[in-house]
Structure 1
Amino acid sequence: MFDFWQGAEGLPVYGHMIRAMIVYFYIFIIVKVLGQRSMSSIDALDFIFGVVIGDILGEPLTDGELPLAGPVGAAAMIAGLHLSLSIFALKAPRFRRVIEDEPIVLMKNGKILHKELRKAKITLEAFLMDLRLNNASDLTEVDYAILEMNGSISVIKKSNFESVTPNDMQMNVANKGYSSVLIEDGRIIDANVQKFGTLDWLRDQVHKHGFANPKEIFLMTVDESGQIYTSPKSNNTES
């Protein structure tokens, strides 16, 4: 009666169909538990998870003699490990850099960084293709190009060439450049602060933006024009 679960030689077609439904809804539940992050971007950790889960649960679908309990338990173990690593990475920023790659700046101030392209193993042709896909075929308009952790390339255009351009209105606007994180989840990023000022300068900026101390800030960034963005820590951002 439960051959579809325990496995049997010559498992009938309906047994394989029942197994397929079980695996489908099981993976659906796993994805919902892990959260939308695993579907929105594919980084190294998510890629490993997808490959392993597919291999574990794919084999019993084709081999009716294999019991289903073992693969289902193994998939649950992998999903729990994946979720634990993701949560730990959120709690420990230093550990996060072990499992998530830092963004790589491939183009800075309109100049292509050849060494960074080689480091990222990206050919010039592939780089130019990505710029075209980002509607940045004219290199003179590009200020920054960054290889993000999920493998995609994001483009920051020079301010004079953004949509509804100040250039069309004969206005000279300072280039925004690449935004640097000054405070992340209440923690000061000292290396980035030193690029723009001192800790006293940062404290002044914190107070100017209405915060008593950095621990009240979830994210503070600054671009090369000096424009500062802040987002407070809050558990009740929505009413």
Structure 2
Amino acid sequence: MLDFWHGAQDLPIYGFVLRAAIVYVYVFVLIKILGQRSMTTINPIDFLFGVIIGDVVGEPLADGEVPLAGPFAAAGFIGAIHLFLSYIALKMPRFRRVIEDEPIILIEKGRILHNELKKAKMTVESLLMDLRFKSAIDLTEVDYAILESNGQISVIKKSKFDSLTPSDMGQSPQSKGYPSVIIQDGHIIKANLDKFADEVWLKNTIKQHGYHRASEIFLMTLDGAGKVYISGKDRKAN
């Protein structure tokens, strides 16, 4: 009666169908519990999770003699580890860099950084292909190109080539540059702050935006033109 669950040497077709339905629902619920992050980004931890889960729960669908209880328990345990690592990464910025790679700047101020290309193990042809996907065919228009932790390339064009370009109006605005994270989840990223200013400037800027301390801020960025973006933990954004 419960051959579809315990497994059998000659499992009938309806048993495989039932197994497929149960596995589908189980994995669907597991992904919902883990959150959308596992579906929208392909970070190393997400890729590893997907490969292992696919292998664990896929075996009972191919071999009717394998009981479902063991693979389900293993998949649940792996899901718990994945959820725990994701939670720790959210709470501990330093540990996050163990889980997720730092973004790599491939083009800076219009110049291709060859050493960074080698670090990313990317050829010039691959870079040009990704730039074409981002509608950045003309390299002279590209200010920054960044390889993000999920493997995608972000492109920041020079200000005069933005939509409704200032160059059409005879203007030459200052380059925006690459926005750097100054505060993330209440923690000051001192290495980035030291590139632009000091803690006195930071305290004054925070007060100008209506905050009293860094712990009240979820995200603060600063670009090369000195433009500040702040989003508070209380959903207040300026």
Q: What range is the shorter-chain TM-score in?
A: over 0.9
Distance 2:228 2:199 in 1: 15
TM-score by length of 1: 0.97
After TM superposition, the structure 1 = structure 2 runs for residues 134-173 of structure 1, keeping only pairs within 5 Å, are: 134-173=134-173
Distance 1:106 1:77 in 2: 38
**1:198 maps to which residue?**
198
1:172 shift after superposition = 1.8
After TM superposition, the structure 1 = structure 2 runs for residues 90-101 of structure 1, keeping only pairs within 5 Å, are: 90-101=90-101
**1:51 maps to which residue?**
51
1:210 shift after superposition = 1.2
Cα displacement string for residues 129-180 of structure 1 (whole angstroms, at most 9, x for unaligned residues): 1111100010010000000000011100000001111111111211101001
**2:225 maps to which residue?**
225
Partner secondary structure for residue 181 of structure 1: strand
Cα displacement string for residues 11-48 of structure 1 (whole angstroms, at most 9, x for unaligned residues): 00000000000000000000100101111111100000
Distance 1:236 1:125 in 2: 43
Distance 2:135 2:105 in 1: 18
**What amino acid is the match of 1:54?**
G
Distance 1:68 1:81 in 2: 20
1:236 shift after superposition = 9.0
1:235 shift after superposition = 6.7
Identity of aligned residues (%): 59
Distance 2:50 2:138 in 1: 37
Aligned residue pair count: 237
Distance 1:66 1:213 in 2: 57
**2:208 maps to which residue?**
208
1:55 shift after superposition = 0.4
* Pair 1:180–1:235, CA change in 2 (3 A): closer
Distance 1:20 1:72 in 2: 13
**What amino acid is the match of 2:155?**
V
Q: Structure 2: any 5+ residue segments left out of the alignment?
A: none
**What amino acid is the match of 1:122?**
M
Cα displacement string for residues 53-80 of structure 1 (whole angstroms, at most 9, x for unaligned residues): 0000111101001111000110000111
TM superposition outliers: structure 1 runs of 4+ over 3 Å: none
Distance 1:118 1:162 in 2: 29
Partner secondary structure for residue 167 of structure 1: helix
More displaced, 136-145 or 186-195?
A: 186-195
**What amino acid is the match of 1:49?**
F
More displaced, 203-212 or 120-129?
A: 203-212
1:185 shift after superposition = 1.0
**2:38 maps to which residue?**
38
Distance 2:75 2:189 in 1: 37
After TM superposition, the structure 1 = structure 2 runs for residues 87-126 of structure 1, keeping only pairs within 5 Å, are: 87-126=87-126
TM-score by length of 2: 0.98
**What amino acid is the match of 2:212?**
A
Q: Structure 1: any 5+ residue segments left out of the alignment?
A: none
Distance 2:182 2:236 in 1: 23
Partner secondary structure for residue 166 of structure 2: coil
Distance 1:236 1:122 in 2: 39
**What amino acid is the match of 1:159?**
S
Distance 2:162 2:95 in 1: 36
Distance 2:149 2:77 in 1: 26
